[in-house]
Amino acid sequence: MSETTTSNDRTAFATASAVVPVMVAGGCVGPFGRKSTQSLGMIARPVVRDAIASSGYDFDDIQAVFVGNAFGGALTGQESILGQVLMRDLPLNGVPVHTVKNACSSGSDAVHLAWSAIAHGQYDCVLVLGAEKLIHEDRRLPFTTLATATDHKPGSEGRSVFIDVNVKRAQDYMETFGATPRHFALCASKNRFHASLNEKAAVREPMSWEVILADQVVLEPLTRAMCGGLVDGAAAVVLVSDRLYRRRGYGGVRISASAVTSAVPNPDAVGSATARAAKLAFEQAGINPKDVSLAEVHDPTAPQEFFDIEELGLCGRGEAIDLVEQGETTLGGRLPVNVSGGLTARGHPVGATGVAQIVEISEQLLMQAGKRQVHRARIGLAQMAGGLLGPDSAVSTVHLLEKI
């Protein structure tokens, strides 16, 4: 048996042995944007308070805290005990606090660890916080810090190394499947429209695909409006066991699957980290990808959304082009994707994004999403991919949520 197969079998065994259903009790996403006058704690603590208030539970009910933050050490100067510092002045009575640093998957990996702790009976009520402050007086520092989430050489001055990688992937996709820059502009315009309906989004001005295509070129085929910018923000969610939640006597949202995978040396042979995480999640939940009502995916640039939904199995290879062209990934379409606005428009405060996705999907399933509500949403998927290790994402997470 190969090492990869053994690793996947162990992951499958671990997820299959989860016996306690995990519910989303409540959550909150704070406004994303440039918050140069606010500390990370000032951004995070109000979101924690609102999340707990929305859950119907109290601070005294919280048994553990998991905090996702990728770059606090470099950008805020708090390399260690960051979670404890952010929880300071909150009435949590000394509960265990764990900080997760896993690049763009920091928040979603924190959700996974909280889910696992409840699913395996360790706790009944857990708080997850994702928070990040990327705006810094030294404008070069965030880009050099982002480069620490890879084993690649840093990108050109003033540009993230991830842009270079995304450009190469976009060019390969265009050559293989016939996509054009117009298709990427259509996707970016779609997410701008979604973000215009989201009062928490960093960028709320709609933009036509023609304007996006004509915007300043970063690197061909990417224009500036196809790329997400640096923002600050926080999101929090309260997860509880089904046995605790069902005392309320009504239905809600269950996390039916939580899968995490890491990069392997040859993803072409066994599948990317995202593809493998999706396979594990769908198997764990017993859900067919065709049954997914909506998806929130990791799209730091517009082309990445195409790659994500194909690797997740939500459509076939190259089919994302037609889905975007026909409006099927737009609100009202067959498979709405990134109705929050996604990373390119809602914003991507790295550690917060994965938690924000869980809150967004939960609100959609509970019919609480307002103007951006997906009609008859029953099953939602949230996916994040963190860092780069060789040719693949260093870590990928996939969560499946169901309305029950």
pLDDT at residue 300 is higher than 60: yes
Helix axes 273-285, 3-16, angle to 10 degrees: 40
Distance CA 374, CA 390 (A): 37
Is there a contact between 20 and 121 (Cβ–Cβ < 8 Å)? yes
CB proximity list for 268: less than 8 A, separation 6 or greater? none
Question: Each residue of 223-276: pLDDT tens digit?
Answer: 999 999 899 999 999 999 999 998 876 679 999 999 999 999 888 889 999 999
Distance, in Å, from the CA atom of 39 to the CA atom of 24, rounded to the nearest integer, reads 28
Averaged confidence pLDDT in the chain: 93
Reported as a single tens digit per residue, the pLDDT across 344-392 is 999 999 999 999 999 999 999 999 999 999 999 999 999 999 999 988 9
10: three-class secondary structure by DSSP: helix
312-336 residues labelled b (16+ CB within 10 A) or e (exposed)? bbbbeeeebbebbeeebbbbebebb
Mean pLDDT value across residues 269-284: 96
Q: Cα 221 from chain centroid? A: 24
Mean pLDDT throughout 289-316?
A: 98
In whole angstroms, how far apart are CA 94 and each of 1, 87, 91, 197? 45, 10, 8, 39
Domains of the chain, CATH where assigned: 3-137+232-254 (3.40.47.10), 149-227+256-403 (3.40.47.10)
pTM: 0.94
How many Cβ atoms are within 10 Å of 244's Cβ, its own excluded? 17
Residue 151, pLDDT above cutoff 90: no
Radius of gyration of the chain (CA): 19
Q: Cβ distance 294 to 335 under 8 Å? A: yes
Quick one: average pLDDT of 284-290? 97
Inform me whether the pLDDT recorded for 9 exceeds 70: no
Which pLDDT score is estimated for 232?
98
Contact 370, 358 (CB under 8 A): no
pLDDT at 2 over 60: no
359 vs 344: CA distance, rounded Å: 18
pLDDT tens digit string along 16-62? 455 799 999 999 999 999 998 999 999 999 999 999 999 999 999 99
Q: Say whether pLDDT at 328 is over 90.
A: yes
